[in-house]
């Protein structure tokens, strides 16, 4: 038993923490913030980066009410205060208040968007704030203030405000009716014009809770552009951007670009997400494996065959170091863009009879289903970590899938000539090695509550949703 006890307050996410205080003849000692015990007791996994302390000489010193764009953990380090908090977040709770007395044995976790204020009850009171973002001029623009005297919040300050000690700035803050509610942190999607990026745009609610940036708006490899992003405004970043040209990655220029995008730039993104307590969702690939196993779970070790797979594996390791991360490992993505299914459909329609390999096995991943699975993980707050995510059903070879595309489009599947990888590669150069088995075990994503649609049903829906000419 740690002795730490966490109490709800009626304002969602605002938590009152009771701390053991050890007293002796010298004074007292407490573990003011102890992440392991406090997370176990029910606090969010709060990772402060800055500790501020205010010293208040007189009883009746009153500060607030301030909602900064970050989470806070507040308490006294001597003396006592009457603390008051007002929910300034958009929603039905806007304007709701909570107050209590804080002595050394209490602390309060204040989520972003909840205004914080206090009045000292004793002289020489120290008040501590642990916060999750470094203070900056840019952060100041994200502050929201409420006047201490606001009648709607109805805070009963023990010492009437007329007799209290207030700063001029605090006296000038607006009443609730004039306060713009603090909006929720958004989800940012990078690589918005790729197959997955477009599917995410189609799946995301159109309520302003998502922001999409294509390469033209944000090139991941441009450190200055990444640096200019205000990460404190994002609760999650979904990185759908990647260097995906598997064969070109084997060339000297491609190798350099693949490493720059899929590893070096991703490392910068991962560091920024760590620094801002932002969840990073990153997409991994079956190409991190060599295909010698019948199927792969999330625990299997990396063994990539080619440069692209090597960069994806290195990227996965960087993302795994982000405290709040999802590595979503997928295979054979089919969306709005150039992919195997669209190529086969094109060949079927233009009268080309292709040879297709029958010794590489896997499952398709329709970008729509991939997007739905990613949004599901974020929505349910699934435990962080790696998740395989492809469509379900029996694995199939590329040749079988090609035949199904022809059949579903009303063409003769007999036009496909089955071949094997060795024969296909004979006489060709510049083709990256590919795993023969790309089957990703789906037990973990199912346990997280997401059932991937069967791949051939999804293929049927995908083809029927497209016009014959597309
Ligand atoms: P796409 O190639 O369709 O999309 C990738 C997007 O990333 C493109 O819009 C691309 O822009 C953009 N991009 C590339 N470099 C940068 C950069 N430096 N800064 C910003 N954006 C950049 O890929 P998918 O949507 O199919 O893939 C999504 C994810 O899934 C990737 O992580 C990929 O590795 C992974 N994956 C894909 C598989 C597949 O079969 N496609 C299989 C397994 C995993 P531009 O077009 O201008 O280069």
Burial classification of residue 105, based on how many CB atoms lie within 10 Å of its CB (0-12 exposed, 13-18 middle, 19 or more buried): middle
Is 424 among the residues known to form the active site? no
Specify the 3-state DSSP secondary structure of 176: helix
CA of 305 to the centre of ligand 1 (A): 19
**73, 129, 243, 287: which one is catalytic?**
129
Q: What pLDDT score does 470 carry?
A: 44
Triad 183, 186, 188: Cα angle to 5°:
160
Whats the size of the chain, residue-wise?
470
Low-confidence ranges of the chain (pLDDT < 50): 469-470
CA of 219 to the centre of ligand 1 (A): 12
362 touches ligand 1 (CB under 6 Å): no
Contact (CB, 8 A) for 356 and 416? yes
Cα 177 to Cα 368: distance, rounded to the nearest angstrom? 42
343 touches ligand 1 (CB under 6 Å): no
Residues contacting 429, CB < 8 A, separation 6+: none
Residues contacting 227, CB < 8 A, separation 6+: none
Q: What pLDDT score does 469 carry?
A: 47
CA of 130 to the centre of ligand 1 (A): 38
Q: Count the neighbouring beta carbons within 10 Å of the beta carbon of residue 383.
A: 11
Cα 401 to Cα 339: distance, rounded to the nearest angstrom? 12
Ligand 1, atom nearest to 329 Cα: 44
CA of 261 to the centre of ligand 1 (A): 10
Q: What pLDDT score does 287 carry?
A: 98
Cα 396 to Cα 361: distance, rounded to the nearest angstrom? 5
Q: Please name the helix (run of DSSP H) or strand (run of DSSP E) that holds residue 28, with its range, or none.
A: strand 27-29
Q: What pLDDT score does 299 carry?
A: 98
Residues contacting 50, CB < 8 A, separation 6+: 130, 131, 133, 134, 135
Phi-psi map region of 111: left, alpha, beta (phi>0 left; psi -120 to 50 alpha): beta
* Full-model pTM: 0.89
Q: Count the neighbouring beta carbons within 10 Å of the beta carbon of residue 354.
A: 16
Q: What tokens appear for 255 in the block?
A: 């190798």
Q: What pLDDT score does 136 carry?
A: 84
Domain boundaries, the chain: 5-178, 186-466
313 touches ligand 1 (CB under 6 Å): no
215 touches ligand 1 (CB under 6 Å): yes
**66, 276, 325, 384: which one is catalytic?**
66
Q: What pLDDT score does 133 carry?
A: 87
Mutate to test the pocket of ligand 1, among 241, 344, 455 (most ligand atoms within 8 A of CB): 241
Specify the 3-state DSSP secondary structure of 31: coil
CA distances to 51, 66, 347, 400 from 413, in Å: 67, 67, 12, 9
Contact (CB, 8 A) for 202 and 191? no
440 touches ligand 1 (CB under 6 Å): no
CA of 245 to the centre of ligand 1 (A): 8
Contact (CB, 8 A) for 142 and 134? no
What letters, b where the CB count within 10 A reaches 16 and e where it falls short, cover 357-376? bbbbbbbbbbbbbbbbbbbb
Q: What pLDDT score does 467 carry?
A: 56
Domain 186-466 is in which class?
A: alpha beta
Residue 363: closest CA among 337, 335, 398? 398
Q: DSSP letter at 89?
A: B
Strand 396-397 and strand 62-67: the pairing is unpaired
Residue 80: closest CA among 110, 123, 115, 23? 123
Domain 5-178 is in which class?
A: mainly beta
318 touches ligand 1 (CB under 6 Å): no
Cα 274 to Cα 318: distance, rounded to the nearest angstrom? 11
CA distances to 2, 55, 59 from 80, in Å: 23, 12, 9
48 touches ligand 1 (CB under 6 Å): no
């Amino acid at each position: 038993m740690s002795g730490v006890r966490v109490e709800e307050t009626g304002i969602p996410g605002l938590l009152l923490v009771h701390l053991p205080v050890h007293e002796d003849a010298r004074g007292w000692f407490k573990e003011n913030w102890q992440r392991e015990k406090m997370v176990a007791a029910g606090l969010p996994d709060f990772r402060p980066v800055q500790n501020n302390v205010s010293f208040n000489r007189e009883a009746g010193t009153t500060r607030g009410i301030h909602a900064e764009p970050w989470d806070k953990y507040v308490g006294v380090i001597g003396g006592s205060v009457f603390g008051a908090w007002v929910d300034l977040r958009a929603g039905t709770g806007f304007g709701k208040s909570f107050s209590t007395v804080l002595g050394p044995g209490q602390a309060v976790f204040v989520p972003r968007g909840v205004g914080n204020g206090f009045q000292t009850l004793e002289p020489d009171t120290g008040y501590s704030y642990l916060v999750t973002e470094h203070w900056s001029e840019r952060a100041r623009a994200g502050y929201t203030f409420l006047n201490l005297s606001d009648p709607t919040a109805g805070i009963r300050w023990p010492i009437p405000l007329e007799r209290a000690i207030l700063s001029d700035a605090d006296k000038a803050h607006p009443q609730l009716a004039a306060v713009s509610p603090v909006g929720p942190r958004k989800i940012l999607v990078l690589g918005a014009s790729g197959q997955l990026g477009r599917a995410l745009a189609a799946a995301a609610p159109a309520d302003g809770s998502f922001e999409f940036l294509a390469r033209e708006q944000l090139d991941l490899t441009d450190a200055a552009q990444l640096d200019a992003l205000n990460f404190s405004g994002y609760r999650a970043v979904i990185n759908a951007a990647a260097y995906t040209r598997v064969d070109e990655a084997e060339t000297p220029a491609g190798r350099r670009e693949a490493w720059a995008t899929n590893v070096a730039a991703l490392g910068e993104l991962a560091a920024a997400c760590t620094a801002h307590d932002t969840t990073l969702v990153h997409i991994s690939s079956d190409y991190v494996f060599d295909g010698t196993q019948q199927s792969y779970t999330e625990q299997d070790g990396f063994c990539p065959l080619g440069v692209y797979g090597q960069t994806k594996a290195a990227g996965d390791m960087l993302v795994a170091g982000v405290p709040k991360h999802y590595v979503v490992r997928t295979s054979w993505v089919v969306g709005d863009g150039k992919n195997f299914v669209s190529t086969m459909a094109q060949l079927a329609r233009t009268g080309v009879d292709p040879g297709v390999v029958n010794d590489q096995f896997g499952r398709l991943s329709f970008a729509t289903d991939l997007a739905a699975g990613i949004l599901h993980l974020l929505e349910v707050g699934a435990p962080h970590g790696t998740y395989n995510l492809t469509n379900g059903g029996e694995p199939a070879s590329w040749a079988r899938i090609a035949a199904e595309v022809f059949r579903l489009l009303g063409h003769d599947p007999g036009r496909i000539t089955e071949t094997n990888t060795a024969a296909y590669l004979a006489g060709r150069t510049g083709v990256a090695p590919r795993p023969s088995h790309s089957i990703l075990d789906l037990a973990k994503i199912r346990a997280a509550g997401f059932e991937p649609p069967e791949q051939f049903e999804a293929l049927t829906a995908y083809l029927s949703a497209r016009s014959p000419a597309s």
